[in-house]
Chain A
């Protein structure tokens, strides 16, 4: 393998020297010429030779580098062979080590083969072209030395002054062993089989025929075919060659597996959306199991080891890591923006897919199922065309998905226009809209991160000041609150027609029926002060309870004679953003359990070295659970349990409650417009002593929970909203010593008591989409 490269390098040196000598000879001839016509021809010939010389020098330099590489690998192999031999001597462990080294040697030899093949294909092509162009065979090259340095006398031409002047017929009929055999070898496999080997090179003549020699015409055909083949279809040819030894078969199957894996991944990303619902989970696990089985069969991997490995590797990230991470993020109440970004990263960088293709496809020892740890690093450091191919497929899939959503019965906007079922204009519109919205969402996400960081900073800052409390959102089967699930336009919008946008609103509440006031408007993108008010139908969504989805139609049209509408278009041609705005009032609730215990008993436990948490079977810190919605309520999460109270003196419980807004979901923008009031529900035996609220609370008995009171803090500040800020209520709750015996349930048992906080507020939810209004065709 390495010898071939060196040999080729020697040939390249030889050819360069030959052409160089010829060039010098031709130049001398030119100097001795007197006839101007002959001089011109001679100059052309020299120019041609100079071009050839330039090309061959390039090849020679390239080959020189390859030779250096090969020599380096050879040295490494020699060293490793010594190591392997030494390891073999060292007993059973050494044998294993030597096997590993031998595998490495095989890899290096494989690399050398790759270099050799690459070198062959490139230099062979050049040699063919060069030989055809030169049109002169070598007759004899005596005294070729090992360095390839030959003098002028080493090359002789049989006839004619220069290579290019040699007629083709003469070339074929006379001793053209070099060309014919070289071209045949191009059509066959090995560079080492061509006539550049020393024996044929030195002794080629017409009488020295062998089975590979072809008649001149046939030789020409093979020469041409070989040229084409070696020029354009080298890889295909190599693959066909590899087919004989099974390499192509394996490679083909690996690539099929890779494509199948891509499809599974894309389905997972686009259709399942990395969801963790039970049915999707089952589907996903089945898909990846199938994929793993396929991989085992394709790669001929040990079924037990392979199935486990493949399934773990292939399915780990999408099946387990993303959903768990997502769930974990939910549990940690990480914002939607961060979750979206993480999901996007996993979609864009299919680590496991690259792993499958490169790590398992190349570095796996198929028989034993062992893999080299260097493989993954190699893949990560050197991503190649397959990564690019993945992104191309991703784009194609996306376009396909987009088109499939567009190919819907399009609405005939213009009377009389044909409904073709596929509206290219609409598709462009939707695509523009999609890009615009996606871009906006991306910007929002980045802003959201900024806001998150700002919120984190606020939390940190206020945490240090002990006035920012956190909570954990309740994990619902379906989130409570109000959501704009969809807002879209259909078809092309013209300035002569009303523009109609369709929105879907979903709301879920357990307490009261939600009433939502709807409105919409369009804002020009070129002049943001230009705003057109639309009409929504219905203007108020009433009695939404439990879980309900309602449609909202937003229409932009000029009022008619009756003052309602005429169908005339309101929006002039141009680009707009349409906003659907929902206004409603909501409540968010938070629940914080406490465990109270007798102080003396707690002191006893502490002094006797016992952990009261373990002894009493209670959590060290109780979490505040708040209901899902646009607002977060946090309550004293830092307070450690159990909280000790004593019958010997009055007790004071510090109680804090923070109310903060949260980023909205589904690309909508939300804002707490006004806080109406906030409440605290606590047992009768608690008395709110003092609070940081600007108003005194009103106290009423709780009709829902016997033995509880409700402290309501009404907000008198009309402008109090939570936009970019939060509010914290700190109270001092007194527990009378006389009541302790009623609270503590017998000896050494903690009392379980919950305190419930609520906030009632007005909320505004907005979602926007882009709109392009075109001039009506034919209109002036």
Chain B
């Protein structure tokens, strides 16, 4: 009887112990799960997205309704969401903010009334782009200008007018891709190191103008006869080895010239401004050259030659063909071996984004 009781007590303790263990296990697993997190620790790829510097009105400024003869300070949120930092190395005004209003309804205070778009009327700004230590980019809310609503002209009760703020800046798109130099044209290698994909597509590199597609062709431009000195066994007449001698073997190598067609796209709503080395189109008045970007590219250490250095954009799209000059084709391209080389590309351009807000002007009386 007592044995039975003891056995029962043991089984009860065992059950309680097991329950406690299970509870502790569940709790531990929860803790562990919570510690694991969803954000892997490591470098942040800042070269993603399609935005550059953006300009926005703040939520309630300017208000949707303003009274005649009243003054207001226009605030704007400027945010460099791209991966490039416009700096003073290129121009004195890395980011230029301007405002555009209808003089009948609004007056810009503290500015000449004839034109507000002279050079000295721009407000310049410096904002860092995205970086590993600042992955969202730098943003600021700044007062742009003071506006005064004119007394409503005539018998109109509540006219509506628009306020436009623009940010104009020079920007760069950085693009890099590992290109497979694929000389195995006939698929002889059983386990090649890499294979040329021919077409690559992309969604953004942290700038408003993006490389969205690239075609890569490995064009064979010739074959070279290449004598190779090799160690050759010396065999006697009976078939025995007499020694090792040097022999010459006649071989052939294919000469490749990698050829790239790179497609660009204006992925945002802004306008690309054409420029030259001297003028800053943000301040030089009307753009008559259309939308154009300038590019430079390298494959490994070899600079690529492009069909034209300035790419005209039509319907927000443009493309260019780049290749390696014949004189620059390196000897290793002649080897019948595949290997990878980095392609680096920089696209430089001026970009202008605008934000609009319609405001109603109310009569005081």
Identify the A interface with B (CB < 8 A).
Answer: 474, 476-477, 480, 509-511, 546, 587-589, 591, 593, 598, 600-601, 604, 607-610, 615, 617, 625, 627, 629, 647, 681, 683-684, 704-708, 740-749, 751-754, 756, 758
Contact = CB atoms under 8 A, between A and B. Distances in A.
Contact of B155 (A627, A708, A748, A754): A627
B157 interface: yes
B273 interface: yes
27 contacts: A477-B157, A480-B157, A510-B154, A587-B154, A587-B155, A591-B154, A591-B159, A598-B286, A601-B287, A608-B291, A610-B315, A610-B316, A629-B155, A647-B285, A647-B286, A681-B153, A683-B103, A705-B104, A744-B286, A746-B283, A747-B281, A747-B282, A748-B286, A749-B352, A752-B101, A754-B102, A758-B154
A627 B115 CA distance: 29
A617 B154 contact: no
Interface stretch (B43-51, B161-169, B172-180, B194-202): B161-169
A773 to B, nearest CB: 42
B76 interface: no
A601 B290 contact: yes
Contacts of A510: 152, 154-157, 363, 365
Interface string B94-127: 0000101111110100000111110000000000
A704 B113 contact: no
Contacts of A683: 103
B151 interface: yes
B273 A747 contact: yes
Given A747-B286, A749-B164, A511 B291 contact: no
Contacts of A706: 103, 107, 113
A627 B152 CA distance: 12
B23 interface: no
A100 B343 CA distance: 72
Nearest to B355: A617
A746 B282 contact: yes
Interface string B61-102: 000000000000000000000000000000000000010111
Given A708-B103, A756-B104, A474 B156 contact: yes
A604 B107 contact: no
A751 B286 CA distance: 11
Contacts of A705: 103-104, 150, 153
A598 B159 contact: no
Nearest to A626: B156
| Best-buried of B104, B164, B284, B356 by chain A (most CB within 10 Å) | B104
B162 A752 contact: yes
Given A587-B155, A744-B286, 5 more contacts: A477-B157, A546-B365, A598-B288, A601-B286, A604-B288
| Best-buried of B117, B159, B164, B365 by chain A (most CB within 10 Å) | B117
B113 A627 contact: no
A615 B286 contact: no
A120 to B, nearest CB: 71
Nearest to B283: A746
Interface string B258-269: 000000000000
A711 to B, nearest CB: 15
Contacts of A509: 155
B320 interface: no
A627 B98 contact: no
A598 B154 contact: no
Contacts of A588: 155
B254 to A, nearest CB: 41
Given A741-B286, A746-B168, A748-B352, A604 B103 contact: no
B154 A511 contact: yes
Interface string B176-208: 000000000000000000000000000000000
A385 B283 CA distance: 79
B291 A604 contact: yes
Interface in B281-315: 281-291, 313-315
Given A627-B155, A706-B103, A752 B316 contact: no
Closest A-B pairs by Cβ, 10 of them? A589-B154, A598-B286, A600-B288, A608-B314, A747-B287, A604-B290, A627-B155, A754-B104, A742-B115, A752-B102
B231 to A, nearest CB: 64
A747 B288 CA distance: 9
| Best-buried of B102, B156, B271, B282 by chain A (most CB within 10 Å) | B156
A83 B164 CA distance: 70
Given A609-B315, A708-B103, A748 B150 contact: no
A747 B159 CA distance: 28
A565 B258 CA distance: 111
| Best-buried of B285, B352, B356 by chain A (most CB within 10 Å) | B285
A728 B101 CA distance: 30
A598 B155 CA distance: 33
Contact of A747 (B168, B314, B356, B363): B168
Given A745-B116, A745-B117, A708 B104 contact: yes
| Best-buried of A607, A627, A740, A746 by chain B (most CB within 10 Å) | A746
